[in-house]
Amino acid sequence: MTVANVPLGLRYSVMKREGSVKFGEVDPDSNFRSGDRIRLNVDTNTPGYLYVVMQGSSGNWRLLFPSADVEGGNNRIEKGTSQQIPAGDKGQFVFDEQSGTEKLFLVLSRRPEADLDKLIYSITGGASSSDRTLIAEARIGGDVVNRLREEVKSRDLVFEKVDEMAIQTNGSEVRTEKATYVVNPSRTDDARLVVDVALKHNK
């Protein structure tokens, strides 16, 4: 087992649409309203493989990332690049009229997750792992999510929530950071971290 240079870490933030086009970071513990439009931004401190799924009312988990719209389903994320979910200029989630809690589950690992890949990708006979074809509308059972949670105990991870932090940009513009940082101190090549995000909304 090889040893990586740095611990495995990610930063995630919930972006809420303000006005007609602008999105700004908001506290993920906010109470959202029906009609609010949001997206998720994820940054990592090292290259890895990112998976994001959302739990629907049926209890099953639906794949959000990787997406066939982003590099043909490639879920490798590089250090210093910000991954927006859903992707694209118009990528966003809209809270419907039904109150409740939307649950997101994020997995970041140094190498591909076999359990998730088996469910998400169809491997053609003799194809290499780089020739994976995304299964449209892949559904992931709660047992897979629970198993990944159990394999990475919360005590192994370090969470830090930033509620308010002014960041100077472009020499004059000041923006406020509202984000969560999660780190797995492990430097092994099979390190992973898992994050649950619960977004509450009312009518």
Q: For 15-31, write each residue's pLDDT tens digit.
A: 999 877 789 999 988 89
Q: For residue 27, how many other CB atoms are within 10 A of its CB?
A: 16
The residue that leads in pLDDT, 144 or 153, is 144
CB 167 within 8 A of CB 13: no
Q: What is the pLDDT of residue 123?
A: 42
Phi, psi of 178 (to 5 degrees): -135, 100
Position 121 confidence tier, pLDDT thresholds 50, 70, 90: low
Backbone CA torsion sign across 105, 63, 111, 142: positive
CB 146 within 8 A of CB 152: no
Position 175 confidence tier, pLDDT thresholds 50, 70, 90: low
Position 170 confidence tier, pLDDT thresholds 50, 70, 90: low
Q: For 123-136, write each residue's pLDDT tens digit.
A: 444 444 455 555 54
d(CA 95, CA 21) in angstroms, rounded, equals 17
Backbone CA torsion sign across 55, 144, 130, 47: positive
In the predicted structure, residue 56 carries a pLDDT above the cut 90: no
Position 147 confidence tier, pLDDT thresholds 50, 70, 90: confident
